[in-house]
Structure 1
């Protein structure tokens, strides 16, 4: 059972693409798809390989430390 809202596959693909981008914030994703940052993280965990998910989260933390507003 998925913990994220039921979304069409093209929305999931778009959310993942935006989340992987260093230029889109969680606020941008929420504005476009109506999905909270918590749900984006869950969706990424469900759709990426474990190593890719961990690398993505590490990159978010590193960027977040350098920028006042990120993801």
Structure 2
């Protein structure tokens, strides 16, 4: 899949966010978790990719099935502040 620069930037941002599950990325970009990992590996420095993989591995918030039932948001309520 060919992503625009803006879409690639947003995808990487969503992948780094702790509260954005891979399922939300799949809905928005039609990419599986393994495809997201491939894109991250291709576009991050190797050290950054390693840090990211350690960060998301086993994280309950990165998989909808592991999240607390009823959690519908993909980000912290204080993350985006309206001006």
TM range (shorter): 0.7 to 0.9
Matched, 1:69 2:66: yes
**Cα separation, 1, equivalents of 2:57 and 2:8:** 22
Structure 1 outlier segments of 4+, above 3 Å: none
TM-score (norm 2): 0.69
Question: How much has 1:63 moved relative to structure 2?
Answer: 2.0
Tell which has more relative contact order, 1 or 2 (C-alpha 8 A, sep 6+): 2
Matched, 1:47 2:43: yes
The structure with the larger Rg is: 2
Segments of 5+ residues of structure 1 without an aligned counterpart are none
Aligned to 1:26: 22
- Matched residue SS, 2:36: helix
After superposition, the CA RMSD in angstroms is 1.8
Higher helix share: 1
Segments of 5+ residues of structure 2 without an aligned counterpart are 68-83
TM-score (norm 1): 0.79
Q: Tell me the matched-pair count.
A: 64
